[in-house]
Structure 1
Amino acid sequence: MSDTSAPVPGGAAPRVARVAFLGLGVMGYPMAGHLSKSGLDVTVYNRTASKAAQWASEYGGRAAPTPRDAANGADLVLACVGNDDDLRSVALGDDGAFAGMASGAVLVDHTTASADVARELFALAKQRGVHFIDAPVSGGEAGAQNGTLTIMCGGDADAFERARGTLEHYAAAVTLLGPAGAGQLAKMVNQICIAGLVQGLSEALHFGQRAGLDMARVLEVIGKGAAASWQMANRGPTMLDGKFDFGFAVDWMRKDLGMCLDEAKRNGASLPVTALVDQFYGDVQALGGNRFDTSSLIWRLRKVNPAG
């Protein structure tokens, strides 16, 4: 393994040469692609092997049959899978990434998972002489494709610095927020904010349409004032048009909000709006909108009150 801890002139993050990427979904596929296009030696693993072979054909890297094989000889191992159980399956066991990582290597996990599993894997990594950083992302599929993600990290500062320069190939912001689990907790804050914002935006658009306003023009006006937000600018127009076949799926948001509510039970936080919006997303699922974008909360309002 190359020396990822060696200082780099000018204070830049340490260089790496070989990386592994585990999980090639709608986020991981383009993220791994940015690494290959930057000149890094990239080996990928995906549960569906044909997807890994497709990626290798497109980007020129190598597809590995197991996470362990992908991680063998890598300076950094990056993962972006579905949930806690998926993360454990690629990290642990005889074929897991930890089994193939050399001493001092770093596993950076981009999965939106629980803070508990982040702390668990951080401790297990320490026992094996490797490092673990929880690093969930925000920015959605478009952010992954454009290399403009925001990454929230938890873990040790030295391991973070080893990974930071590599993560910047597909991120606009990479920030260490505290010890293991801090990245996942910060992502929960992010999702709580989004849930409330999208419900408020949905109600506002629904109200305006029922009032007979030209809501496209209204968005142009209020988008320049105190009500402005990323959700309004990027989802407001598509919400008006009833377009929800893109972006972050309702099923994924419910998974995330479930983790937020579980964590709130442990830390004593009160999340009444989040709990209510989670129920509203449950309504969207019941209506068949499981794979709709999270902005489909307005679709629920229209279904409940079709006159609007």
Structure 2
Amino acid sequence: MSVTHSSSSPSAGTQPQAANVTFLGLGVMGYPMAGHLAKAGLNVTVYNRTAKKAQQWASEYGGRSAATPREAVQGADLVLSCVGNDNDLRSVVLGDDGAYAGMKQDAVFIDHTTASADVARELAARAAEHGLHFIDAPVSGGEAGAQNGTLTIMCGGETQAFERAAGTLQHYASAVTLLGPAGSGQLAKMVNQICIAGMVQGLSEALHFGQRAGLDMQRVLDVIGKGAAASWQMSNRGTTMLDGKFDFGFAVDWMRKDLGICLDEAKRNGASLPVTALVDQFYGDVQSLGGSRYDTSSLIWRLRKVNPAK
């Protein structure tokens, strides 16, 4: 695994690991991520808003479930979370039953939610008030990456806290990188989503064009995939897009949430995102056409719907 940061530190193989960890949020990403920690021999306690899911996880992996975030984090060296959005994150971190109310002094909170940079900075400041550490650490790689333990993790926070957490994160990641202070991980994830949005739209248009031109598009993919047009999206989604299969985990609803975060941040920092804004509208079309739970490669489905073959 690659561990990269802004100062010298031990290699990935010598990174310290937390013995007692807590994982908050057991959705399609969090469930397998927490599972990797348990399989690595760590003492894992889990919390999920739907308690039955946490109990199921504990039964499957041999860990412990708790009724509230505050109870779940008791005695944990490292607390990890993966929930839906800014408000979901605040709900498991703050308040009388939140994680910060129960964490021991000097413990580290790692958040894998794709959220705003503002909430990351807010929770980092609140952590410092409690004598804790906070790292925003959104991930890329989707459900398959979580299941296979090959996620890419983009981090923002203090170097020393990052170094304490990196050895634990390696159990479900192929790369973990510290990019700067609190909020930097979320900003990097925005860059990631902006790249994906434009790439998937371009790939959708290319495949749609090729099919309309009467080409054998599988053969076309085979050849152009060896050249400058090659990408992860082409290699992993090109064939399924041709086949009209859009059930690969990361739903359009979630992508629109992410792109909304990107566009809000762009308003603050003055960046121009014309393609991102347009693709966000296209994903809105997919939602209105009934594809809210389709994965992000469904942009080609939109093209087929709004421009059917004659």
TM-score range, shorter chain: over 0.9
Specify the SS of the correspondent of 1:173. strand
Counterpart position of 1:232: 234
1:151 positional shift: 0.1
How far apart are the structure 2 equivalents of 1:197 and 1:138?
Answer: 15
Counterpart position of 1:121: 123
1:9 positional shift: 10
Counterpart position of 2:167: 165
Counterpart position of 2:202: 200
Q: Which has the higher contact order (CA 8 A, sep 6+)?
A: 2
Specify the SS of the correspondent of 2:247. coil
**Alpha-carbon deviations, 1:253-303, whole Å to 9, x = none?**
000000000000000000000000000000000000000000000000000
1:220-299 aligned within 5 A: 220-299=222-301
Q: Aligned pair 1:91/2:103, yes or no?
A: no
Structure 1: gaps of 5 or more residues: 1-6
Specify the SS of the correspondent of 1:169. helix
Cα distance, 1:226–1:75 mapped onto 2, change above 3 Å: same
How far apart are the structure 2 equivalents of 1:226 and 1:11?
Answer: 35
Q: Aligned pair 1:209/2:211, yes or no?
A: yes
RMSD: 1.3
- The answer to which of 243-252 and 77-86 deviates more is 243-252
1:29-40 aligned within 5 A: 29-40=31-42
Q: Aligned pair 1:102/2:115, yes or no?
A: no
**Alpha-carbon deviations, 1:27-72, whole Å to 9, x = none?**
0000000000000000000000000000000000000000011111
How far apart are the structure 2 equivalents of 1:276 and 1:306?
Answer: 21
Cα distance, 1:160–1:287 mapped onto 2, change above 3 Å: same
1:11 positional shift: 7.4
How far apart are the structure 1 equivalents of 2:285 and 2:13?
Answer: 51
Specify the SS of the correspondent of 1:168. helix
> Percent identity over the alignment?
83
Counterpart position of 1:14: 16
How far apart are the structure 2 equivalents of 1:10 and 1:110?
Answer: 20
Counterpart position of 1:49: 51
Structure-2-length-normalised TM-score: 0.96
**Alpha-carbon deviations, 1:163-206, whole Å to 9, x = none?**
00000000000000000000000000000000000000000000
Specify the SS of the correspondent of 1:36. helix
How far apart are the structure 2 equivalents of 1:101 and 1:216?
Answer: 53
| Partners of 1:250 and 1:291 within 8 A in 2 | yes
Specify the SS of the correspondent of 2:171. coil
Structure 1 runs (4+) deviating above 4 angstroms are 7-11
How far apart are the structure 2 equivalents of 1:44 and 1:8?
Answer: 29
| Partners of 1:164 and 1:174 within 8 A in 2 | yes
Specify the SS of the correspondent of 2:41. coil
How far apart are the structure 1 equivalents of 2:76 and 2:249?
Answer: 31
| Partners of 1:38 and 1:169 within 8 A in 2 | yes
How far apart are the structure 2 equivalents of 1:240 and 1:160?
Answer: 42
| Partners of 1:8 and 1:15 within 8 A in 2 | no
How far apart are the structure 2 equivalents of 1:234 and 1:35?
Answer: 27
How far apart are the structure 1 equivalents of 2:155 and 2:296?
Answer: 24
Aligned-partner residue type, residue 301 of structure 2: W
Structure-1-length-normalised TM-score: 0.96
How far apart are the structure 2 equivalents of 1:306 and 1:27?
Answer: 35
How many residues align structurally?
302
Q: 2:182 aligns with which of 177, 180, 190?
A: 180
How far apart are the structure 1 equivalents of 2:141 and 2:272?
Answer: 26
Structure 2: gaps of 5 or more residues: 1-8
| Partners of 2:12 and 2:167 within 8 A in 1 | no
How far apart are the structure 2 equivalents of 1:243 and 1:9?
Answer: 41
Cα distance, 1:65–1:10 mapped onto 2, change above 3 Å: closer
1:118 positional shift: 0.0
| Partners of 2:253 and 2:292 within 8 A in 1 | yes
1:230 positional shift: 0.1
Aligned-partner residue type, residue 160 of structure 1: F
How far apart are the structure 2 equivalents of 1:179 and 1:220?
Answer: 42
